[in-house]
């Protein structure tokens, strides 16, 4: 079992860009406001478990239920699309109970689909085709540590940015998330028709 630091660095950067934890800060803050608090450890651990399980069993699970990777990515793109619309337009599309429990918010939509979402899960499948498993696992763990730190310090980040700063970042990253959703949708919808 040989660790390759170049592979680890590349896989870490690719996953970091796809997970986009910095871009998700506005969503994390609004989730924390809705539910009172977020269980950072639980969200990070669940995201890590989902990613590692999907790395090993992803394609088999999807095949078992008759879904291919492209169909999975299109479904995820639609979820990301609606989350982005909420951020940009300041509306609520996902109706949840008046008070979302911190534990539920830590699992859905935080651990899945924001952190371990279709983007990161499909990325893991493509990384697996190029890199060795142990390097990808190290890359996942590095990203999980970064995610945990950002989740833990989101209140401080919120105080630093202020209400207006967060509103601006929310709109900007809403547009970026919308673009990611559209890219994920268009690149995979073509696969479905081919």
- Quote the CA–CA distance of 49 and 46 in Å, as a whole number: 5
pLDDT at 188 over 70: yes
pLDDT at 99 over 80: no
pLDDT at 136 over 90: yes
Write out the residue range of the structural domain in which residue 142 sits: 5-193
What share of the chain has pLDDT > 90, as a percent? 31
Domains held by the chain: number: 1
**Average predicted confidence (pLDDT) for the chain:** 86
pLDDT at 108 over 90: no
Higher pLDDT, 131 or 35: 131
Give mean pLDDT, residues 135-161: 93
Res. 53 pLDDT band, cuts 50 70 90: very high
Highest mean pLDDT among 3-7, 153-157, 170-174, 178-182: 3-7
- Which tokens is 32 given? 């924390």
Chain centroid offset of residue 135 CA: 20
- Whether 130 contacts 124, CB under 8 Å: no
Q: Which of 83, 74, 86 is nearest to 183 (CA)?
A: 74
Q: Which pLDDT belongs to residue 94?
A: 61
Higher pLDDT, 134 or 170: 134
- pTM, to two decimals: 0.77
Give the CB-side neighbour count of residue 80, counting CA atoms within 13 A.
Answer: 32
Res. 51 pLDDT band, cuts 50 70 90: very high
- Whether 76 contacts 182, CB under 8 Å: no
Helix axes 25-35, 133-152, angle to 10 degrees: 60
């Amino acid at each position: 079992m040989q660790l390759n630091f170049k592979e680890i660095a590349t896989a870490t950067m690719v996953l970091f860009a796809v997970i986009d934890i910095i871009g998700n800060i506005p969503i994390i803050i609004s989730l924390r406001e809705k539910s009172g608090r977020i269980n950072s450890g639980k969200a990070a651990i669940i995201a890590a478990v989902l990613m590692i399980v999907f790395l090993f069993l992803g394609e088999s699970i999807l095949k078992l239920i008759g879904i291919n990777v492209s169909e999975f990515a299109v479904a995820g793109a639609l979820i990301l699309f609606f989350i982005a619309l909420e951020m940009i337009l300041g509306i609520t599309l996902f109706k949840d109970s008046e008070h979302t429990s911190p534990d539920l918010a830590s699992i859905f939509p935080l651990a899945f689909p924001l952190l371990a979402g279709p983007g990161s899960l499909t990325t893991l499948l493509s990384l697996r085709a190029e890199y060795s498993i142990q390097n990808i696992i190290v890359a996942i763990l590095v990203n999980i540590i970064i995610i945990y730190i950002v989740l833990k310090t989101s209140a401080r980040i919120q105080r630093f940015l202020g209400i207006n700063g967060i509103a601006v970042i929310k709109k900007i990253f809403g547009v970026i998330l919308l673009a990611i959703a559209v890219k994920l949708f268009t690149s995979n919808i073509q696969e479905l028709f081919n």
